[in-house]
Structure 1
Amino acid sequence: MTAAGERAGPVGAAATGEGTTVGAARWRWLGLLLFLLAAAPVVHRYLVAYPQDQWQVDLQVYREAGVSLLTGRPVYAYETEVPQLLPFTYPTFSAVLALPLAFVPFGVLGWLWTALQLALLWLVVGIAFAPLLRRAGHRAGLAQGVVCAVAVWFSPVGEGIRFGQVNALLIALCLLDVARGRVGRVRWPRGALVGVAVAIKLTPGVFLVHFAITRQWRELRNAVAAAAAVTLGTFLLAPEASFAYWTDALLSSDRLGPNAGSSNQSLRGAVLRLYLSPAATQALWLALVLVAAVLGYGVARLVHRAGSRVGEVAVCGLLAVLLSPVSWLHHVHWGVVALGALAGDGRVRARLRVAVVGAVLLVSPWPWWGANLVAQPEVPRVLARLVQNGDLLWVVAALWALHRFVRPVATDERTVTTSPLS
C-alpha cells in the first residue's frame, strides 16, 4: 500500500464514523417519535379526557406541600380540596423539593410533570435495557423507542401518569446510582443518589439493607450520609414540619387511604383483604414480611454476585413493593427495570421469552379486574382474590425469574447506556 493510500484509510474511517453517528442520531429521533406517538393516547386519557376533580391528584398534593411551606400553613394537617381530601405523606424534604411547583399554574404543571415522567422512562429504559439495545448497533435509538412505546402502556406506568406520581424519579435516581455512577463526565459518590431517594420517600431504604448484606460499605456510608445530610438540612429549613412528620405523620398509616383496597399491592394489602382478626392479620403479615425479606435479599445478593447491577436495582425495588405496608399500583413501575434485567442482551432465548411474557402481563390492570370480580357472586372468591392481587403476584414471579435466570454470565450491564442523557 502506498503512503497516499495509508493516509486515505483514516480519512475514510473518520467519514464512516461520522456517517454512523449521524445515522444513529436519526434513528434516535425516530425512536423518540415512535415513543411519543405511543404515549399520546395515554397522555390524552389522563390529561385531556380525565375528570377535572381527579386530575393529577397526587401532583396536587406535592404542590400544596410547597405552598404550605411558603405560606406557613401546616404541611401535614392540610388536605386537598373535595372530593379527594388527600394529605401530604412524604418526608419534609419532598415538600422542600416541591417549592418550585408552587410557582407554576397547576394546569401547566401537570403537563410538565408528565413530560418529565416520559423523559425519565426514556432514561430508565436506556440503562435497564442497555445490553439488548446495543445489539441494535446504530439503530439502538429506534430500539429504545420501541421498548419505551411498550413500557408506557404498562399499567403501573400509566397509573403514575394518571396521578402525577414520583416513582419515575425515585427509580431513575436509584438506577443511575447503582448501575451507572455517572452521567457523561459528571460523577458522584456511589450510593449518594440512593440516599437522596430515601430522603424523598422512605421505601428506597431497602437498598441500605442490601448494601449492608452485600458488604458494599462505601455505598452504604454514602447513602446514609446523603440521606442524613438532606434530612438534617430540611430540619433547619422547616423545623416544625419536619418535627410533625417524624413524630406523627410517619406513624399514621391511615393517612395513606384505605389500606385494604385493590390499589394496595403490598403483602400487607393482600393480608388485609382476607379480613381476619386484627391479631391474626398482624401475625400473618409479619410472618410473610420475614419470609419475603430473607428470600428477597437472598436473590439480591445472588444477583449482585452475578455482576448484574440492573438486577440489583430491580430486586431491591420489587422487594420494596412487597415489604412496604402500603404499595400502590404505580409502585410496580420497578417492573420496567426487572424486565430489562431479565431480557439481558437477548441472546438467551428463555430469558427473553420470560421478559416478553412479563411485559404482556404488566400491561393488564389486574387489581381493577379483580375488584370487579370480587363484586360478582358467581365468580369463585379465591379466583377473584388472585386476580385482585395480580400485581403482587407479578412481583413475586419476577423475583423468582430473576433468581432463576440472572447468573454470573451477566457481566455486560455495567457498560454505558445508549441514552442520550449519558
Structure 2
Amino acid sequence: MSEAIFETVRRPPVTMRRDRLVRTALIALPMLVAAVAVVTHLVVGRFWLDLEVYRQAGSALIHGRPVYGFAGHGEAGDPLPFTYPPFSALMFVPFAVIGTDAAIFGWTLVSVAALEVTIWLVLRTLGAESPRRNVLTLGSSSLALMVYPVTNNLLVGQVDLLLMALVVADLQGPARSRWRGVSIGVAAGIKITPAIFALYLLLTGRPKAALRAFVGFLATVALGFLVLPGDSRAYWSGLFLDGSRVTPDARTINNQSLLGAMARITAQPWPAHLWSLPVMAVAGLAGITIAAVASRRGLELTGILTCALTSLLISPVSWPHHWVWSVPLLLVPAWRGAVQRTAAIVLLPVFIATNSWMIVTSTKHDDSFRGAFLVFSNAYVIVGLVLLAWVAVYLWRRRPSRSTAPGRSRIVHAGSRRLPARFRPRG
C-alpha cells in the first residue's frame, strides 16, 4: 500500500505532465520560428529589410553619423530610410553590434514571444482558465503564424508585435496599477501610432493613466534629445510628418488605411486633402467615440480593439504588419456565440489569403486595381469599417435606456458578465 502511494506521489498526474509539456512548447515555439527564420535568410538571402534599417540606425548612433542621413535599399532598389523616433535607434543598438543572423534570431524570438503574451492576456480576459489557457495560447499562436500581418511582421523584422504586446499588457493589467499608461508611452516613443491609446485612457475616465502615458512618452523624447540632439531636432521639427519618407505612392496594396483605399479608388498617388482629410477625421472621431463608449460600459477588450482599428484606419500609411491586431480581432469572436465564430471562420482565410499581396508587390502590379481585385486590394479597410459599424450597432441596441434581451449579448467583445472586476475600466 505504501509503495502504491509513493508511486502516485512520485509520478505526477497526466494533466500535470501535459501542462508541463505545453509550457515547454510555448517556450520552444519562438525558438523554433527564430531558427527557421535564420535558415530561411541563409538560403534565400532576402527579407528582414526593416530590421536591417533598424540595425543601420543603431550603427549610425554608435559611430556618430546622422540617424536620418542614410537610406537602406529594398529588394526592388527603393530607398528605405529610418522613419521612427530617435528613441527607437537606441533600442536597436544591441542588434547593431551583432551579426545579421544573430539579430534575425533574437528579434524573431522577441516578436513571437510578444505574440504569445498578447494571446495569453486576451484569453485570460475572455475567461480561459489555466492550464487550458496555455493550450489555447499555443494553438492560437501557431495558427497566427499563417496570418499575413504576422507573417509580414516576421519576414521584414518589424516592431508591431512588440508594440501590441506592450499596449495589451498595459491595458489588461491590474486596474489599480501605478504603472498603468507607462508602457503605452514607451510604445509611442518607439513608434508614434500607439499614442492614440493615451487618448483612449483619457476618454475612458483614467486621466492619471493618460498622464503617465504622456510622461512616459516625454521621457523617451528627452532621452532621444540627450543622446541624439541633432537627430531629435530634425525629427521633431517636422521630419516625422513627411509621409513621402514612408512611401512615395499611397496606392500600394500594402497600404491598408483609409487614405490608401481612397488612393486606389481614385487612382491617385496621394488623394486630395480637400476631401480625404475630412473622411479620416470623421472616421477617427467616430472610432474613438465607439471605443470609449464600449469601455465605459464594461467592454474593455472591445474598446481596446476598436481603438486599435481606428488607429489603423486613420493613419496615412498602415502596412500589413501594422494589422497584427487582426489576431485578437479573430480570437475574440472565436470565443463567443455561433454568429461570431462563423465571422471568425470567414475572416481567417481572408487574412491568410492576403499573403498573395507579396506576389502582387514583387511583380510590380501594385498601383492599378479594378473590379473584384479593387475590393480584394482594400480587404483590411473593409473588414475594419464593418467591425466598427458592428460594434456601433451593438452599443446602440444595448444602450442603457432600453431593456436588454439576454439573446442579444452575443457580440465581438469580452462581455462585462465574464470580465473580472480587476480588468474593468475605472469610470
TM-score range (shorter-chain normalised) is: 0.7 to 0.9
Structure 2 unaligned spans of 5+:
1-8, 395-410
Contact 1:24–1:140, Cα closer than 8 Å, also in 2: no
CA distance in 1, matches of 2:365, 2:133: 46
Give runs of aligned pairs for residues 64-143 of structure 1, distance below 5 A: 64-81=56-73, 83-131=77-125, 134=128, 138-143=131-136
Q: State the identity as a percent.
A: 27
CA distance in 2, matches of 1:193, 1:40: 25
CA distance in 2, matches of 1:45, 1:384: 34
Of 50, 53, 57, 1:58 maps to 50
CA distance in 2, matches of 1:19, 1:273: 56
1:407–1:138 CA distance, 2 compared to 1 (3 A)? closer
Deviation at 1:398, TM superposition (A): 3.2
* Partner residue in 2 for 1:25: 20
Contact 1:27–1:139, Cα closer than 8 Å, also in 2: no
Of 131, 156, 159, 2:152 maps to 159
Deviation at 1:394, TM superposition (A): 2.2
One-letter amino acid matched to 1:195? G
3-state secondary structure, aligned to 2:72? coil
Deviation at 1:312, TM superposition (A): 2.6
1:212–1:401 CA distance, 2 compared to 1 (3 A)? same
* 1:306 and 2:297 correspond: yes
* 1:197 and 2:180 correspond: no
* Partner residue in 2 for 1:3: none
3-state secondary structure, aligned to 2:131? helix
Deviations 1:37-79 (A, max 9, x none): 7x589747953544x2x43100011111111111111111111
Contact 2:174–2:422, Cα closer than 8 Å, also in 1: no
3-state secondary structure, aligned to 1:80? strand
1:407–1:175 CA distance, 2 compared to 1 (3 A)? closer
CA distance in 1, matches of 2:150, 2:413: 28
* 1:410 and 2:413 correspond: no
* Partner residue in 2 for 1:290: 281
Give runs of aligned pairs for residues 146-295 of structure 1, distance below 5 A: 146-181=139-174, 188-258=178-248, 259-275=250-266, 281-295=272-286
* 1:386 and 2:375 correspond: yes
Contact 1:271–1:281, Cα closer than 8 Å, also in 2: no
* 1:348 and 2:348 correspond: no
CA distance in 2, matches of 1:381, 1:45: 38
CA RMSD, 1 decimal: 3.6
Deviations 1:215-255 (A, max 9, x none): 32111111001111221122112101101111242121111
* 1:315 and 2:321 correspond: no
- Segment of structure 1 superposing worse, 56-65 or 274-283: 274-283
* Partner residue in 1 for 2:349: 360
3-state secondary structure, aligned to 1:86? strand
CA distance in 2, matches of 1:413, 1:174: 18
Deviations 1:253-277 (A, max 9, x none): 1111232211111111111223467
Kindly tell me the number of residue pairs found equivalent between the two proteins: 395
One-letter amino acid matched to 2:167? C
* 1:331 and 2:322 correspond: yes
Deviation at 1:351, TM superposition (A): 2.4
Contact 1:196–1:227, Cα closer than 8 Å, also in 2: yes
CA distance in 2, matches of 1:375, 1:276: 13
Deviations 1:378-400 (A, max 9, x none): x9923221111112222223333
1:269–1:370 CA distance, 2 compared to 1 (3 A)? farther
CA distance in 2, matches of 1:49, 1:113: 19
CA distance in 2, matches of 1:301, 1:219: 15
* Partner residue in 2 for 1:11: none
Contact 2:87–2:220, Cα closer than 8 Å, also in 1: yes
1:29–1:353 CA distance, 2 compared to 1 (3 A)? farther
Deviations 1:52-108 (A, max 9, x none): 2x4310001111111111111111111125735311000011011111111111121
* Partner residue in 2 for 1:7: none
Deviation at 1:188, TM superposition (A): 4.9
1:280–1:77 CA distance, 2 compared to 1 (3 A)? closer
One-letter amino acid matched to 2:165? A
State the TM-score, normalized to the length of structure 2.
Answer: 0.81
Deviations 1:109-137 (A, max 9, x none): 112111111111111111122255725x5
